[in-house]
A and B are shown apart, each in its own frame.
Chain A
C-alpha cells in the first residue's frame, strides 16, 4: 500500500513495451517448440524389445536314486592306483553300474575342468577316470553321455589341456562347453545366495542321471575342494563374489542338484597350494577312490585323505544341516576294497 492508501501497480521494467513483450513471448515459444520437436525426434515409438520372461529355476534337479535297498552299502572305498579298476570294483560293490544307469538314460557327467592344467598336476578330474565312468555308462545302455563344467576362462583350452576332451572323444561322450545360451537364472527355495543367479541349466536339458567326478585337493579359500566344491562349476556370472562366503555358497550348491552317483578321486591328492597347485611336490599318492551316492559323505571321508577334520572344512557340516546328505559316512555301510597296485 502507498502512504495514501492506493494500491501499488506491478512494476514494469523500464522500456518494456508491447513490441518487446511480443518478442519475448515469441522467443520463449520458439524455444518451447524446439524442445518439443527435439523430444519428438528422439522418441522411440516402439521402445526396447521386451526380454523374454525367464522364470528362475528352483534348482537343477534331483537325480539321486530313491529306491535303494535299505541296509545295502551306499559307499565303496577302494584302495589302489588304477582308476579304472578302482571304479569298476567300487561300483560293483554298490550293485553294478546297471543299478544306477538304465538303458536309454541320458547321463551328464560333471567333471572338474577348472584349469587349463595337465592331468599330471592333479588340479582337475583325471581323464582316466572319465574314460572309465563314461565307458561304463555307454556299456550300461545310456543313450547319451555328456560331460560339462564351466571353467569361465577359455573352456575349450581347459577341456583339451586336461585331457578330458580326449577322454570324451574316446568314449563317444560329448562335451557341453558353456555358452551364454546355456545359462538360466535359478533361485533355490530358502537360499541366501543363489537367488536369480545364472546356472548351467542348458547342460541338464533332457538329462536323466547325473554323475559327479572330482579330485581331492587343498583349497586356499575353502579348505578343500572335493565333490561339493566341484558344483561351483555350475554357476555362471561373476561368481567370485561368493568367495566372501565360500562355506555358505558350497552348502547351497549341495542343494542345487543331487547326483545319482558321486566319485571322489583320491588316487593322488593335492595336499598343498590348492586349488591350482603347479608342482608335482604338491601332490601325494593317497591311493583311494570313493564311490558313493552321497557327496556329503564322500567329502567327509575325503577330508581324512588331506589330513583334515570336519572342523577344518565347515561347509561339509553346513551341507549336512541343509539336508544335502550326511557327514557320518559310516552310516552308509561303506565297503572297503583293494584293487591292488
Chain B
C-alpha cells in the first residue's frame, strides 16, 4: 500500500518543533557552560593543585616531568610535581606573574639529595617556556648581581647555594638547602646530568650580540618582555650595563620586524620621554657626528639617546654623566652600523 506524503503545512510544523528542540538544547548547553564557578570554589577545597607526575603515565603527560624521572647519582627525595599556567602560583605564589608574562608553558620540580655535599637537599625546577628568548627573560629578570658566571651553558651563574641557567627554551634552577664548600661541584654535576637529558640548544643571543663589547658587564644583560623602560606597551627590549672610562651607562636594544616599526617605536619612546619632562636637543647641538639621526633628550642631569638603525630600536637610557651617555651611544651606533640588523 502506498504511504501518504506529509503536506507542506505538516512539514512546517515538524520543522518548527525540531527547531524549538534544537534551540532548547543549545540553551541547556549554554546554561551549563556558564555555571557559576564561585559555587564550585566555595564548596570544594583544592586537593593539591600541583599534579604528582611520577611514573610513566605522568612523564607521558608532561613535557618536563620526564626529564626529572631519574638523574643518575642523585637519589630523589620527593615525587615529581608538575604545574601549568593555571596552577603555577600554587607553587611559587606571586612570582608566577614573572613567568606568565614570558610565555610560560609548564614546570616540573623535584628534590634530589647531593650525597657528596653533606646530603644537601637540592630542589630542582625545570621551566618550559615558549622560546629561548622567554627563558632568557625569566633568567635575566632574576639575575643575582655579583654571582659567579659558569661555563655550563650560554647563560649560567652560581650563588653560594644555587645554580641558575637556561638551555634553549628551558630555564633551570638548582637550589640547595645550605651552602658548603662541596656544594658547588655537586650542583654542577646535577646540572650537567639534567642538561645532557634536555634537547640540544638552538641559537640564542643574536640580538644581544648587537651590543658593543667594550665595557659591557657580562652578567648585566636583561630582557624586559613587557612595559620596558617604564613605557607601557614597549615589549621585548634588552638592556645592558657598561663600565666606561667617563662613568657607568646603560644601553637598550630591540630588533623589530621592519625598519619602519623600529622607527615608529623610537618616535613613540622619544614622545614618552618628552611627556615626562625631557627636552629634545636640536640636531647638531653639541653632538658628535656619529650620532647623526639619533635623538637626544635631557631632563636636568639625565640624558637619554634614542635611535633607529635598520630594524633596531636602540639607545642609552641611564648614565652617570653626559660624556658616558654619548660615548656609549656612539659605540652602539657604530656596532649597529657594522652588524646591520
Instruction: Report A's interface with B, CB cutoff 8 A.
Output: 11, 13-16, 20, 51, 114-118, 120-121, 152-154, 157, 161, 178-180, 183, 185, 196-198, 219-222, 225, 236-238, 240, 243, 246, 272-276, 278-282
Do residues B177 and A273 form an inter-chain contact, with CB atoms below 8 A? no
CA distance A157 to B162 in the complex (A): 21
Known: A16-B4, A120-B177. A197 touches B42 (CB 8 A): yes
Do residues A243 and B94 form an inter-chain contact, with CB atoms below 8 A? yes
* Cβ-defined partner of B97 (8 Å) among A220, A278, A281: A220
Known: A243-B97, A276-B95, A280-B161. A13 touches B42 (CB 8 A): no
Chain B residue nearest to A17 (CB atoms) is: B4
Q: Which residues of A contact B159 (CB under 8 A)?
A: 279-281
Do residues B45 and A183 form an inter-chain contact, with CB atoms below 8 A? yes
CA distance A311 to B93 in the complex (A): 22
Do residues B142 and A280 form an inter-chain contact, with CB atoms below 8 A? no
B16 lies within 8 A of chain A by Cβ: no
Do residues A157 and B95 form an inter-chain contact, with CB atoms below 8 A? no
Do residues A11 and B45 form an inter-chain contact, with CB atoms below 8 A? no
B244 → chain A, closest Cβ, in Å? 26
Do residues A153 and B49 form an inter-chain contact, with CB atoms below 8 A? yes
Mark interface residues in B49-77 (1 if CB within 8 Å of A CB, else 0). 11000000000000000000000000000
A113 → chain B, closest Cβ, in Å? 12
Chain B positions 119-134 with a Cβ under 8 Å from a chain A Cβ: 121, 123
CA distance A13 to B45 in the complex (A): 64
Known: A153-B90, A238-B41. A11 touches B7 (CB 8 A): yes
Do residues B95 and A279 form an inter-chain contact, with CB atoms below 8 A? no
CA distance A161 to B123 in the complex (A): 11
CA distance A221 to B92 in the complex (A): 11
A86 → chain B, closest Cβ, in Å? 23
Q: Which range contains the number of B residues in contact with the other chain?
A: 35 or more
Instruction: Report B's interface with A, CB cutoff 8 A.
Output: 2-7, 38, 41-50, 78, 81, 89-98, 121, 123, 142, 144, 146-147, 159-162, 164, 173, 175, 177-179
Task: Give me 13 A-to-B residue pairs in the complex whose CB atoms sit less than 8 angstroms apart, sorted by A's number.
Answer: A11-B7, A13-B4, A13-B6, A16-B4, A152-B46, A153-B50, A221-B94, A240-B90, A276-B92, A278-B162, A279-B147, A279-B159, A281-B147
Q: Which residues of B contact A196 (CB under 8 A)?
A: 38, 42
Known: A13-B5, A196-B38. A180 touches B45 (CB 8 A): yes
A194 → chain B, closest Cβ, in Å? 12
* Cβ-defined partner of B42 (8 Å) among A117, A237, A273: A237
Q: Which residues of A contact B92 (CB under 8 A)?
A: 115, 275-276
CA distance A69 to B289 in the complex (A): 74
Q: Which residues of A contact B49 (CB under 8 A)?
A: 152-153
Q: Which residues of A contact B48 (CB under 8 A)?
A: 152-154
Chain B residue nearest to A185 (CB atoms) is: B42
